[in-house]
């Protein structure tokens, strides 16, 4: 297809004729009176993201869901996966002017709280396992590159001490990189025994902050509730995020 000039793009509105397999074309609508160019698009495959959305839950910010009800049976081990991508730079000139960074070093952490909301332990890149061994961190990802989870925190719920009532998951930039340099950030909870995604929270907010309290797990008898939080802050280590994590669980 020939490349339209900038002037032509400004003078035209582009519509789309979307032809589903075996279906009737659906025509995009342009502004009345504008010149329109229609492109015919036929899907060749189902996007991976649509396939994933058929599984698990996608809670909104500050919404809680029961993990055991979602799993359909008792949970023994779960993992929290966090992922992100660096915003791609616009090329050599953009890099020269400081407009992009192809490596983003974010750190996922887990803050353990008791029933009185007091911190009892912390799992992060400087301590990759909880003192009792029930929670283990996969290690620090320094770039954010690649598909799938960038960092994973595994939780053995059967070994977790009864005194631990809340697990709060955070992500921050120790280097001070801002979240306006990050895209496609998410966290998800997986039932390890079935490799089943139970819940996923996509973080769309960008900004000049360097940390986010992403989500929490809270005991409800024999069950655990997952709460999507997404509260931004300027903390650069998990220690900096403890007070905000406590406030977020209480809210």
In a domain, residue 228? The reply is: yes
Looking at the fold, whether 28 and 147 belong to one and the same domain comes out as no
Query: What mean pLDDT do residues 66-74 have?
Result: 82
Give pLDDT, residue 93: 46
Over the stretch 8-52, which tens digit does the pLDDT of each residue have?
A: 444 443 344 334 444 444 444 444 444 443 333 333 222 222 233
Residue 120's nearest CA partner among 247, 246, 234 is 246
User: Domain containing 16: what range?
Assistant: 12-41
Query: What is the C-alpha to C-alpha distance for residues 216 and 247, in angstroms, rounded to an integer?
Result: 12
Predicted local confidence at residue 189, as pLDDT: 92
Query: Are 34 and 70 in the same domain?
Result: no
Total count of domains within the chain:
2
Mean pLDDT (the chain, rounded): 76
Asked if 75 and 154 sit in the same domain, the reply is: yes
40's tokens:
């015919």
Q: Does residue 2 form part of some domain? A: no
> Which tens digit of pLDDT belongs to each residue from 72-108?
777 899 999 988 888 876 554 444 445 555 678 889 9
* Residue 245 lies inside a defined structural domain of this protein: yes
| Distance, C-alpha 43 to centroid of its chain | 27
125-143 pLDDT, tens digit each: 899 999 999 999 998 765 5
Question: Are 79 and 36 members of one domain?
Answer: no
Is residue 184 included in any domain, yes or no?
A: yes
Whole-structure pTM value: 0.70
Q: In the structure encoding, which two tokens stand for residue 81, read together?
A: 């996966």
Same domain, 204 and 158: yes
Q: How many residues does the chain have?
A: 251
Residues 43, 34: Cα–Cα separation, whole Å: 27
> CA–CA separation, 176 vs 14, rounded Å?
41
């Amino acid at each position: 297809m020939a490349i339209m000039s900038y002037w032509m793009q400004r003078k035209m509105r582009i519509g789309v004729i979307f032809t589903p397999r075996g279906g009737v074309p659906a025509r995009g609508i342009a502004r009345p009176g504008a010149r329109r160019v229609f492109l015919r698009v036929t899907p060749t495959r189902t996007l991976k993201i649509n396939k994933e959305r058929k599984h698990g839950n996608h809670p909104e910010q500050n919404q809680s869901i029961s993990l055991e009800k979602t799993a359909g049976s008792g949970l023994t081990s779960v993992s929290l996966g966090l992922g992100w991508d660096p915003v791609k730079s616009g090329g050599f000139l953009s890099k020269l002017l400081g407009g992009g960074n192809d490596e983003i070093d974010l750190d996922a952490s887990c803050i353990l709280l008791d029933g009185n909301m007091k911190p009892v332990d912390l799992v992060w890149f400087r301590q990759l396992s909880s003192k009792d061994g029930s929670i283990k961190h996969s290690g620090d990802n320094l770039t954010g590159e690649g598909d799938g989870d960038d960092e994973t925190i595994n939780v053995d719920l059967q070994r977790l001490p009864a005194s631990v009532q809340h697990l709060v998951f955070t992500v921050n930039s120790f280097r001070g990189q801002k979240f306006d340099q990050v895209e496609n950030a998410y966290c998800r909870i997986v039932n390890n025994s079935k490799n089943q995604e139970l819940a996923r929270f996509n973080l769309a907010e960008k900004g000049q902050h360097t940390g986010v309290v992403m989500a929490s797990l809270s005991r409800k008898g024999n069950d655990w509730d997952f709460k999507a939080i997404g509260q931004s802050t300027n903390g650069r280590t998990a220690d900096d995020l403890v007070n905000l994590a406590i406030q977020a669980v209480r809210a």
